[in-house]
Amino acid sequence: MASEYDFSAIEKKWQKYWEENQTFKAVDFSPKPKYYCLDMFPYPSGAGLHVGHPEGYTATDILCRYRRMKGFNVLHPMGWDAFGLPAEQYAIETGTHPEITTEKNVDNFRRQIKALGFSYDWSREINTTRPAYFKWTQWIFSQLHKKGLAYLDEIPVNWCPALGTVLANEEVINGLSERGSHPVIRRPMKQWMLRITEYAERLLNDLDELDWPEGVKEMQRNWIGKSTGAEVKFMTTAGEAVTVYTTRPDTLFGATYMVLAPEHPLVDALTTPDRKAEVDAYREAAAKKSELARTGENSEKTGAFTGAYATNPVDGRQIPIWIADYVLVSYGTGAIMAVPAHDTRDFEFARTFNLPVVCIIEPDPEAAKAENVDVEAVHRGEACWTGEGKLIHSSNGDGLKLDGLSVAESKPAATRWLEERGLGREAVKYKLRDWLFSRQRYWGEPFPIIHYEDGSIELVNSDELPVDLPEMEDFKPAGDGEPPLSKAKDWLNYTDPKTGRRGKRETNTMPQWAGSCWYYLRYIDPDNAEQAWDPAKEKYWMPVDLYVGGAEHAVLHLLYARFWHKVLFDLGLVSTKEPFRKLINQGMILGVSYKDRRGALVPTDQVEFTPAGPVRKSDGEALVEFPAKMSKSLRNVINPDDVIREYGADSMRMYEMFMGPLEATKPWSTKGVEGVFRFLKRAHRMFQEAEIVDVPCTKDQQRLLHATIKKVSQDLDSFGFNTAISQLMIFLNEFSKLDKLPREAAEKFVLLLSPFAPHLGEELWQQLGHENTLAYEPWPEWDEAVLKLDEVEILVQVLGKPKARLMMPVDAAQEQAEKIALAAPEVQAALNGKPVKKVIFVPKRLLNIVI
């Protein structure tokens, strides 16, 4: 009697084998071709993994197992991005040290990941919170500092009093913190900054060389935001010169007012006494808004008039100077010339405050019609035109003649005129701003910085690294922006052991991004106490051949890591100018949620399942089921532990790959897991019930086997995991019908199955009589000659009605095909002695006889 598919015993057995034998340990300097495959390492939260997290890990594991069998030396590591605000907030709320909760969370994540049988080299495991790791994060910061790329500056920042820390723009939503929804204000604070802007051009240009999704590259291009234009000097009635950066110097004749950012350093000098109270109130209100709130497309246009005027350099007109929060001091020069006839934001502002709108570009009639824009309304200043056209009303008596020119022609002409008269110059600007690198929290990397009593600010001696965190019980901020570390007096006070100079340590800590900027390099040499990494090992393994992770990291993490890598490249510390050769973003796996007829969400634990569908337990109201992002609030999070307990790790792995393309968003379905589970049970049963025989496959069996090898191989090369699994199912459907299973087909099927269901693959391989793991067995090869058909099935019709399906030579000509068809008894019966009038033949497909 066939043994049952005891997936639990099988999976525990092989996970123990892999761990004891270090089956997946990567070998430095192997003569094999290297393959460095990297997952974006997780933040180990208290909630643990849900079934969406392992999707990318499963994909990389399948590829790594495939590559090992293809003869590659594979580096596939895992670690923990474990510093950060969530652990610190939990520590404040519970009084538990963040190191304790982080360690507990890491242990849980590691247990869950190991339960899925991923082929990681666990000997290279890293944790960003360990001193042996962040010693080198501090060392890299020291290199940035020595290179002049790290500096202190007092800048307006997003300050959250409740969290006691500065937040990045992306961490602020509608004026509230992303975590906890606490109010966020803008305030000036002294912060550490990194000069990422010095690398803007290289970060932009080198994107072209990367095999990344085009959408991700475009997001980085937009974030860097390169633009070419002109800096133009406007003299003001206050005697001050204001420099404006514009990408449209051709529109100077249409500039009817000027706008400064509320934080612009000249606002005080330009504001007249009668306007001071309104301007001050407006600046105070603007300080409470995040930059995203200020610059959003749907933001309401607000502003205040300073009372001052500027002289338009091309025609001498006096234009009013306003302040408005849609202009940022951190972009360009913090001042714009407003051309409301040809810029949507300027037009909205002008309409709000009844400012002049002067058309200086004649709209192209066809384009205006297509955009449903009234040309006459544009001329009257009642509509805005942002498209192409010829310039009008754009010439002066001092040699500037733009009338009749196109936009493309007029831009360089206007810039040349400004440069010749010392009124402006061509300039390139970037939206990208220097990286705000400070956080006012405890649970982060301390800066290796000393503020000495004589006012100097210096790095600690390199032999004093790592600068460790002090033991503290109170992690709350000290108040008024002072970080928690300011309360650690013994740690704070510093005396240089070599010179005796006294000072205080830096009390800010680094952002969580710091540890994740370079972790891929530490995997290469994780136990090196003398260097961040061995240069020879770095040269062997880098760059990362495949990087897989969520699209939410498309800009910040990937941009920051690229920046640090380029600095390290310039310092001669790495051998490649880019860290990640190929990038794939896996899609999101959605959970199932429910809502009532009013659209209100109903948590899953309040739902009862009846034959008629889901209903609310309390009142029996029928509910609508819909896919939604997994979240604790909806209580629709699916724990992989539960899936593994019910169906096994191999079933969960295969199902997540079978759901659809890797990059697509897909809804979770327990029924889908059950279907994959049945497939694995059938595969297991086939090897228990069929006799494995040393006989060659039949021609048809051989063809299906080689077609399967080819399909699975090509799909793995193109990340088509779902279609590769479909082909394995086709193979099983045919071969499971056999009582005697040819050994060649059995062994090659197991090898093909093993990357997807590695535990079952190993078990079946052992049942086939092999003593060693299949992890390094050669991947099966297909033979094109076997796939070539000798015969093909042809549908034979009489007067368009199917009468027979006949096998014919694949290269049969019409004469031969007719002879075979007319000899068939079914066709002769249909003809009933009637003469053939005509034959229509479609090679390899169809033969139709007309009588």
Same structural domain, 609 and 497: no
Starting at the earlier edge strand, list the strands of the sheet with 791-798.
Answer: 801-809, 791-798, 846-850, 838-842
Handedness of CA 419, 424, 428, 434 (dihedral sign): positive
Specify the pLDDT at position 1: 42
Which residues have C-beta within 8 Å of that of residue 10, sequence separation ≥ 6? 648, 759, 760, 763
Select the highest-mean-pLDDT range: 153-157, 258-262, 329-333.
258-262
Whether 377 is covered by a domain: the verdict is no
H/E stretch holding 389 reads strand 389-391
For residue 465, the model assigns a pLDDT of: 97
pLDDT one-digit tens code per residue, 327-366:
988 778 999 999 999 999 999 999 999 999 999 999 999 9
Which CATH number do you get for residue 747? 1.10.730.10
Q: What's CA 206's distance to the chain center, in Å?
A: 18
Domain boundary among 742, 762, 785: 785
Tens of pLDDT, residues 112-131: 999 999 999 999 999 999 99
- Looking up tokens 């327990």 gives 670
627: β partners: 592
CATH number, domain of 797, equals: 3.10.20.590
Query: What pLDDT does residue 292 have?
Result: 66
| CA–CA dist 202, 196 (Å, integer) | 10
Q: Are residues 232 and 310 in the same domain?
A: yes
pTM attached to this predicted model: 0.87
Window from 139-153, 263-277, 468-482, 826-840 with minimum mean pLDDT? 468-482
* Residues 423 and 439 both lie in one domain: no
In a domain, 184, yes or no: yes
Cα dihedral across residues 411, 412, 417, 420: positive or negative: positive
CA angle 478/479/485 to nearest 5° reads 25
Q: Residue 383: inside a domain, yes or no?
A: no
State residue 790's pLDDT score. Answer: 79
Question: Which 3 state secondary structure label does DSSP give 36?
Answer: strand
Binding residues: 632
- Residue 381 counted as domain residue: no
H or E segment at 66? Answer: helix 54-69
* Average pLDDT estimate for 438-442: 91
Locate 612 and state its tokens: 């008629």
pLDDT in tens, 672-723: 999 999 999 999 999 999 999 999 999 999 999 999 999 999 999 999 999 9
Distance between alpha carbon 58 and the CA centroid of its chain, in Å?
17
**268 and 152 together in one domain:** no
Predicted pLDDT of residue 87: 86
Binding residues for ATP: 632
Tens-place pLDDT, residues 64-115: 999 999 999 999 999 999 998 888 888 888 889 999 999 999 999 999 999 9
Sequence letter at residue 413: A
Residue 296: per-residue pLDDT: 66
Q: Does residue 286 sit in the same domain as residue 207?
A: no
Which helix H or strand E contains 808, and what residues bound it? strand 801-809
Domain shared by 664 and 774, yes or no: yes
> Which pLDDT score, from 0 to 100, does residue 2 have?
56
513 part of a folded domain: no
> Among residues 743, 766, 785, which one ends one of the domains?
785
Domain span holding position 75: 31-129+523-585
Residue 192 maps to which CATH number?
3.40.50.620
Check whether residue 405 and residue 275 sit in a common domain.
Answer: yes
| 184 lies in the same domain as 283 | no
pLDDT, mean over the chain:
93
On whether both 298 and 405 belong to a single domain, the answer is yes
Please report which residue ranges of 571-698 form alpha helices under DSSP H. 640-647, 649-658, 670-689
DSSP letter assigned to residue 129: T
pLDDT digits (tens, 9 = 90+) for 276-327: 999 999 998 888 776 767 776 666 789 999 999 999 999 999 999 999 999 9
**Residue 637: what pLDDT?**
84
**How, if at all, do strands 172-173 and 176-177 pair?**
antiparallel
153 part of a folded domain: yes
Q: What share of the chain is helix, strand, coil (3-state, %, to 5)?
A: 40, 20, 40
Q: What is the 3-state secondary structure (H, E, C) of 694-707?
A: CCCCCHHHHHHHHH
Task: Give me the number of domains the chain comprises.
Answer: 6
Q: Which two tokens stand for residue 330?
A: 């951190």
The reported pLDDT for the residue numbered 631 is: 78
Considering the domain architecture, whether residues 249 and 347 belong to the same structural domain is answered as yes
Alpha-carbon gap, residue 259 to 323, rounded angstroms: 5
Residues 478 and 535 in one domain: no
User: Per the domain annotation, does 23 fall within a domain?
Assistant: no
Mean pLDDT of 203-232: 96
Q: Is residue 257 part of a domain?
A: yes
Domain boundary among 476, 505, 534: 505
Question: For residue 656, which of 164, 87, 118, 127 has the smallest C-alpha distance?
Answer: 118
pLDDT band at 519 (very low <50, low <70, confident <90, very high): very high
Torsion of CA 454, 458, 463, 465, to 10 degrees: 120
Q: Where are the alpha helices (DSSP H) in 552-664?
A: 556-570, 640-647, 649-658
Report pLDDT for 30: 97
In a 10 Å sphere around its CB, with 0-12 CB exposed, 13-18 middle and 19+ buried, how is residue 825 labelled? exposed
Going by pLDDT thresholds of 50, 70 and 90, the confidence category of residue 401 is very high
- How large a percentage of the chain has pLDDT more than 70? 98
Task: Tell me how far CA of residue 45 lies from CA of 243, 493, 629, in angstroms.
Answer: 48, 33, 17
How are beta strands 624-628 and 589-595 bridged, if at all?
antiparallel
169 in Cβ contact with 291 (< 8 Å): yes
User: Could you give the CA distance from residue 637 to residue 590 in angstroms, rounded to a whole number?
Assistant: 9
Torsion of CA 17, 48, 136, 517, to 10 degrees: 110
Q: Are residues 651 and 746 in the same domain?
A: yes
pLDDT of residue 353: 96
Q: What CATH number has the domain bearing residue 259?
A: 3.90.740.10
How many angstroms separate the CA atoms of 757 and 732, rounded?
A: 14
